[in-house]
């Protein structure tokens, strides 16, 4: 038995004595409240239903002994907490219905005004939890809105400091689950802004070494990423990227949530790459787009995303992140052929509409964001409508969607492709052959070492033999003669170009389009 369990056992012994000897009234009611809380703690630790039933029984008796809401509201709160704990363990939604049925009329009663503000705050928070959990089951917009209203009331009455961060965090997450959160409406914009602010506050209130710090960093990063999808502001995705990096750094290798943070980081890295397609006037002091795109830290974003996929064990996802991120960079740097160019040949009027709305969206994201927000919302709806029209055309069902491993399978038909990635901390090789992705770690190298090696090495060429091998170097690997890689001993060399017909490709998509 731990010291905490021992203390709880001792407290329970004394409280039982008080509850048995005290006369019916406030003293006995308060003792039963405390006994019920101890039983609820035991239930949450061991899951024994008998502890939950004892807790509920004690609290129900305490409620009858404390009819005055000035002292009795907290007893109702503890009873409802026990019911919610039982629901979380066994999933009986009738427990949530009971909580709502008990607390809703109490908190609307004029008599509740006599209760301390702190008691009203925790009761509203408990009611909010019940509505939120029921909403996750039935997806009722009314339950979601009721949860939001109850969280706002809890914060208004002054939730206690030790639970304030968690309450604010749950409030922000509940806003994100509201049906109007993703809508292009004034209410949707307000919800996204309020959710981001709430999750930022919850994160800032959480100490660096607190167990919930990584989770709250991740929630804040996801909220910013959601705003970026609507606004297109690069600053939002860049802050989200840092939040997810911090969340990952705050977890250990054994943390079961680490894979979630890796996934969030990889997804944000891809969006960070797409942010580079924003116009140069997003900020008047921003460097030119071409200069930004050639920045080594920018060129390394797809490799960092692939590294996150490799770390999570998702090799297909790693290849897709790398391929789509690099395709975006190459298209922006060299104005390569885009899917819209293909659409011109089939439906020039629809292609012209998409290009016009796209340019208008770019302009509205900078010049009209504050002056005419309704115009931007209209353009965003028009853009989605046009995209859906294009995807109904034959051969355009994945228009502007990222390519999957299945889509890329034909790009190396009759050969293999080795993609070299140089992430910040480690380099890797991904071998793409017959639709399968294999991983070869290059653990002795990182981006800095490859960049240094590339500076010292001059390219060379050699004759090549069968079979075909495609090389797809990324980042600093693109400046190295990868076809000359091999085993070198005194007087003898055995390199790739001696064994394969070696060719280079900037991306797998380029190979696919060339066929």
Q: Distance (Å, rounded) from C-alpha 484 to C-alpha 118?
A: 72
- CB-based burial label for 134 (10 Å; 0-12, 13-18, 19+): buried
Share of the chain above pLDDT 70, in %: 78
Question: Tens digit of pLDDT for each residue in 199-218?
Answer: 998 988 898 889 899 999 99
Q: Sketch the domain layout of the chain as residue ranges.
A: 348-391, 408-514
* pLDDT tier at 514, thresholds 50, 70, 90: low
Q: Distance (Å, rounded) from C-alpha 393 to C-alpha 399?
A: 9
Q: Which of 253, 295, 251, 255 is nearest to 272 (CA)?
A: 295
DSSP assigned state of 251 = S
The residue written with tokens 């409620």 in the block is 63
> Could you write out the DSSP letters of every residue in 448-493?
HHHHHHHHH---------SSEEEEEE-GGGGGS-GGG-EEEETTEE
Task: Report the relative pairing of strands 427-433 and 436-442 from DSSP bridges.
Answer: antiparallel
Q: What is the 3-state secondary structure (H, E, C) of 136-197?
A: HHHCCHHHHHHHHHHHHHHHHHCCCHHHHHHHHHHHHHHHHCCCCCCCCCHHHHHHHHHHHH
Question: Tens digit of pLDDT for each residue in 450-475?
Answer: 777 766 554 444 343 356 788 888 77
Q: Which of 87, 73, 79, 32 is nearest to 56 (CA)?
A: 79
What's the pLDDT score for residue 167? 92
3-state SS class at 507: coil
509 vs 194, higher pLDDT: 194
Contact 349, 385 (CB under 8 A): no
At what angle are helices 348-364 and 339-346 packed, to 10 degrees? 140
418 vs 369, higher pLDDT: 418
pTM over 0.75: no
Alpha carbon 173 to its chain centroid, in Å, reads 12
Question: Tens digit of pLDDT for each residue in 323-373?
Answer: 777 666 555 544 444 567 778 778 888 888 887 777 666 655 544 444 455
């Amino acid at each position: 038995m731990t010291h905490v369990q021992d203390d709880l056992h001792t407290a329970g012994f004394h409280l039982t004595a008080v509850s048995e000897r005290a006369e019916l009234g406030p003293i006995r009611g308060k003792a039963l409240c405390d006994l019920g809380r101890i039983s609820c703690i035991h239930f949450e630790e061991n899951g024994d239903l008998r502890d939950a039933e004892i807790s509920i029984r004690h609290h129900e008796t305490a409620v009858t002994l404390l009819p005055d809401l000035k002292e009795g509201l907290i007893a109702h709160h503890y009873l409802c907490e026990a019911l919610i704990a039982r629901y979380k363990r066994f999933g009986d939604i009738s427990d949530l219905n009971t909580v709502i049925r008990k607390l809703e009329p109490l908190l609307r009663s004029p008599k509740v005004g006599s209760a301390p503000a702190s008691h009203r705050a925790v009761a509203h928070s408990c009611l909010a939890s019940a509505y939120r959990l029921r909403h996750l089951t039935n997806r009722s917009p009314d339950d979601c809105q009721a949860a939001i209203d109850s969280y706002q009331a809890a914060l208004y009455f002054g939730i206690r400091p030790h639970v304030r961060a968690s309450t604010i965090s749950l409030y922000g997450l509940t806003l994100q689950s509201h049906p109007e959160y993703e809508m292009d409406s004034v209410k949707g914009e307000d919800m996204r802004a309020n959710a981001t602010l709430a999750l930022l506050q919850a994160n800032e209130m959480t100490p660096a070494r607190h167990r919930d710090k990584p989770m709250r960093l991740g929630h804040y990063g996801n909220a910013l990423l959601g705003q970026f999808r609507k606004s297109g502001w690069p600053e939002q995705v860049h802050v989200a990227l840092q939040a997810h990096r911090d969340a990952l750094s705050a977890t250990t290798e054994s943390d079961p949530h680490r894979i979630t943070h890796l996934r969030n980081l990889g997804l944000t890295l891809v969006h960070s790459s797409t942010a580079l397609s924003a116009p140069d006037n997003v900020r008047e002091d921003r460097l030119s787009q071409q200069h930004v795109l050639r920045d080594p830290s920018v060129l390394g974003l797809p490799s960092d995303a692939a590294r996150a996929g490799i770390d999570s064990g998702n090799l297909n996802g790693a290849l897709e992140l790398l391929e789509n991120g690099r395709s975006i960079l190459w298209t922006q740097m060299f104005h390569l052929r885009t899917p819209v160019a293909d659409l011109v040949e089939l439906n020039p009027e629809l292609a012209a509409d998409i290009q016009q709305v796209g340019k208008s969206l770019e302009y509205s994201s900078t010049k009209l964001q504050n002056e005419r927000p309704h115009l931007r919302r209209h353009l965003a709806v028009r853009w989605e409508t046009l995209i859906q029209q294009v995807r109904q055309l034959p051969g355009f069902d994945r228009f502007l969607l990222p390519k999957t491993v299945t889509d890329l399978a034909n790009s190396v038909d009759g050969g293999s492709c080795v993609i070299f990635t140089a992430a910040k901390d480690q380099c890797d090789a991904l071998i793409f052959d017959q639709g399968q992705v294999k991983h070869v770690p290059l653990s002795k190298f990182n981006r800095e070492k490859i960049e240094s090696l590339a500076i010292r090495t001059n390219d060379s060429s050699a004759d090549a033999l069968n079979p075909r091998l495609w090389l797809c170097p990324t980042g600093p690997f693109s400046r190295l003669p990868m076809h000359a890689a091999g085993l070198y001993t005194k007087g003898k060399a055995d390199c790739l170009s001696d064994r394969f017909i070696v060719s280079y490709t900037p991306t797998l998509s380029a190979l696919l389009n060339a066929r």
